[in-house]
Structure 1
Amino acid sequence: MNIAPATPEHASGIARVHIRSWQAAYAGILDQAFLDQLSFEDRAIRWEDILQRQESKTLIALQDDNVVGFINYGHWRDEQSSPEQGEIWALYADPESWSQGVGRALMAQALLELRALGYVEISLWVFGRNERGVNFYKSCGFSHVKGSEKQFELGGRQVEEVCLRFRNSA
């Protein structure tokens, strides 16, 4: 496995991983009809735009020249954030690559790069019912920010997101 910066040419591979991961990880959390209608083509266009705008950084995990995971990160998007606060915006691995070190390798590299950019506190949002995700992030050293829970509607269901935070010091 190789970790590399993503380019717009990787958009379709990232989109494939993104949707496959959502469909596997969020089954039972989000409405199945919503998950089934997710479009690879639409998501690829969205990722191409994200990668061209360069408002965030994206790393990919490649295995045999195929994208098997990605992480997207940058500044903390909260309006009251400080310049030392970074955020993991997205981290997904292809379900066939779960528990094979893809997410951990991507997270380790992103945390190094965030530290080099001066971000000493890293936050992320995760669905509270996504036990696999919550447990993974906690195993990487993230902890729950008490009182951070927020509810919203997505795909016909009420969901809760919780904020997890990591102190990213040397």
Structure 2
Amino acid sequence: MSRFERYEIREALPGDAEGIAFVHIKSWKTSYAGIIDQSYLDNISYDQRLALRKKILASKDPLQLVVTLNGQIVGFADAGPLRPELHHERYSFFKDSQEKRAEIYAIYLLEEHKGKGLGRALYQHCRD
């Protein structure tokens, strides 16, 4: 666990599913407005995101981190092994490599907490 101003970065717990689902949806709606079709953003299902997050948290894989402010989740990150099945030929040269490769699957923050170095801190925690 580490502190960043009044923020705390820690591993996600099963009880964090609701907060992570909320951040995921809200950050998509602000970050992708004007990029992704608005009707899609308007219809993102909280129940589906919550069910998915509960499943991910139960699996303990990938690494899942949350950023909290006074106990409230304001951001999260997921990281784990490189997923070559998603990247096809772009990463085929890693197949025979003895080096460990990893990937950050997601980093999301609520809009009002951006610009404070939290994304960078999450990235660093994922790398460590």
Please classify the TM superposition score into its range, dividing by the shorter chain length: 0.7 to 0.9
Shift of 1:28: 1.0
- Matched letter for residue 24 of structure 1: T
Shift of 1:100: 1.7
Equivalent runs, 1:131-142 vs 2, <5 Å: none
**TM superposition outliers: structure 1 runs of 4+ over 6 Å:** none
The match for 1:141 is none
Q: Distance in 2 between matches of 1:97 and 1:27?
A: 18
Q: State the shift of 1:29 in Å.
A: 0.9
| Identity level (%) | 38
Q: Select the residue among 44, 48, 68 that pairs with 1:42.
A: 48
RMSD: 1.2
Bigger strand share: 1
List runs of 5+ in structure 1 lacking aligned partners.
Answer: 113-170
| Residue type at the aligned position of 1:3 | I
In 1: Cα distance, 2:46 partner to 2:110 partner = 14
Question: Residue 28 of structure 1 aligns with which residue?
Answer: 34
Report SS of the residue matched to 1:14.
Answer: helix
More helix by share: 2
- Residue 105 of structure 1 deviates from its aligned partner by 1.3
**How many residues matched?**
112
Tell me whether 1:105 sits opposite 2:121 in the alignment.
Answer: yes
Give unmatched runs, 5+ long, in structure 2: 1-6, 86-91
Contact 1:76-1:86 within 8 A present in 2 as well: yes
Q: 1:68–1:102: 8 Å Cα contact kept in structure 2?
A: no
Q: Distance in 2 between matches of 1:15 and 1:103?
A: 18
